Amino acid sequence: MRDLFFVKDYVALYEEMEGGNCEVFEFEHSLGKVYHQFIKREVPIFLEGGPYFDLLTPYGYGGPVITELKDKTRKDELVALFCQCFQDYCLKHNIVSEFVRFHPLVNNAQDFDSCYNVLFRRHTTGITLKGFEDPIQEEFSGSTRKRIRKALRDGVTYRITENPSNLDQFQEIYLTTMKRVGAEDFYLFDDAYFSKMIENLGEQMILVEAIFDSKVIGAELHFHTGPYVHTHLSGTIDGDINHLSPVYVMTYAIVLWAQEHGVEYIHSGGGVNPGPDDSLYLFKKRFGKNTEFDYYVGNKVWNKEIYDKLNEAANVNSDSGLFPAYRWS
């Protein structure tokens, strides 16, 4: 199944940040088709026969995905054929290793666990709309619904903008929030990132804002493709606004919008840390009591001889648990 994360224009957002180029490998066989896109980066270590490259899934999710399967009983055979063909491709193009962030909603980790070393990373959260007449009643906790009712009574409203043409105010609120919580520099996206997002993905974007006393006090950016809405970035203004519950109101708003547009799932992502006690994860679960997804990552050494030589040149241990090890020297 195709989703935003399998769209080349999405991956292109991260080319400069990741120091590489978006490329696509498409495998076709009488058994079916596999689509695989990634960022290809040059390895910054000189070896004879180079330059050498490695692959990764950018921020978000991805990995190879079966887009057509002629015979469900022969899926494993299709995957094995893809794996062999992609192995040949990697050897031909000096690609040494790959790190994959599999998509929690399309379950491609399970499809390709014979090809990659697949590792469970964490649970992610979401809100199920499909099959629920009233997902707010079914998915939101009682205290969450109470906070939303109070915020709306107190005068908090919301605004939803499809295909927004300007993200200046959102960017300001988002960056303020990231600096307040001490986020890593990677998440401090610049002007070019937001401009490119509008240019590449504007038709998939939904901007949700919480408003109080004619002032925007919170904003969230979502992507909508097919049956899914993905919460991408969010933030709130500085100040004493917790009692106004802007995030609660914005989540309520996107659920109403998603219901009207036939969405089946809203994917909210996971916590900061993988454990079940992570505060962000627990907060998100307030809006999705019954919904949870499994997030897996995968790694693969496509050229072990060169991989070992790169680790030796970087003076790192191949068994360090970090991948690819040579980038952690």
Does residue 270 fall inside a structural domain? no
Both structure tokens of 297: 């990552």
Both structure tokens of 26: 């498409």
Regarding whether 111 and 134 lie in a shared domain, the answer is no
Regarding whether 222 and 198 lie in a shared domain, the answer is yes
What is residue 324's predicted lDDT score, i.e. its pLDDT?
96
Q: What is the dihedral of CA 95, 327, 276, 176, to 10 degrees?
A: -110
140-199: per-residue pLDDT in tens?
999 999 999 999 999 999 999 999 999 999 999 999 999 999 999 999 999 999 999 999
Q: How confident is the model at residue 1 (pLDDT cuts 50, 70, 90)?
A: low
CATH number at residue 213: 3.40.630.30
Which backbone phi and psi does 118 adopt, to 5 degrees?
-100, 130
Regarding whether 225 and 119 lie in a shared domain, the answer is no
24-40: per-residue pLDDT in tens?
999 999 999 999 999 99
| DSSP line for 204-258 | GEEEEEEEETTEEEEEEEEEEETTEEEEEEEEE-SSS-GGG-HHHHHHHHHHHHH
What's the CA gap between 280 and 248, in Å, rounded?
Answer: 14
Does residue 60 fall inside a structural domain? yes
Both structure tokens of 162: 């499809």
Does residue 204 fall inside a structural domain? yes
Does residue 269 fall inside a structural domain? no
Overall pTM > 0.85: yes
Residue 241's DSSP bridge partners are none
What's the CA gap between 139 and 194, in Å, rounded?
Answer: 32
**Last residue in a domain, options 219, 242, 263:** 263
For the cut 90, the answer to whether the pLDDT of residue 114 exceeds it is yes
Q: What is the mean pLDDT of residues 59-79?
A: 96
For the cut 90, the answer to whether the pLDDT of residue 262 exceeds it is yes
Task: Give the C-alpha distances (Å, rounded to integers) separating 3 from 183, 204, 222.
Answer: 27, 11, 13
- Total tally of structural domains belonging to the chain: 2
Regarding whether 94 and 11 lie in a shared domain, the answer is yes
91-105: per-residue pLDDT in tens?
999 999 999 999 999
197 neighbors 234 (Cβ within 8 angstroms)? no
What's the CA gap between 36 and 27, in Å, rounded?
Answer: 8
Does residue 276 fall inside a structural domain? no
Does residue 273 fall inside a structural domain? no
Measure CA 195 to chain center. 19
Alpha helices in the chain, H assignment, sequence order: 8-11, 15-18, 75-92, 108-111, 135-139, 142-153, 168-180, 191-201, 246-260, 279-285, 304-314
- Give the domain extent around 237: 130-263
238 CB neighbour count, 10 Å cutoff? 10
Regarding whether 154 and 219 lie in a shared domain, the answer is yes
Regarding whether 105 and 165 lie in a shared domain, the answer is no
Q: Report the percentage of the chain scoring pLDDT > 70.
A: 99
CATH number at residue 85: 3.40.630
Angle among Cα 68, 74, 75 to the nearest 5 degrees reads: 50
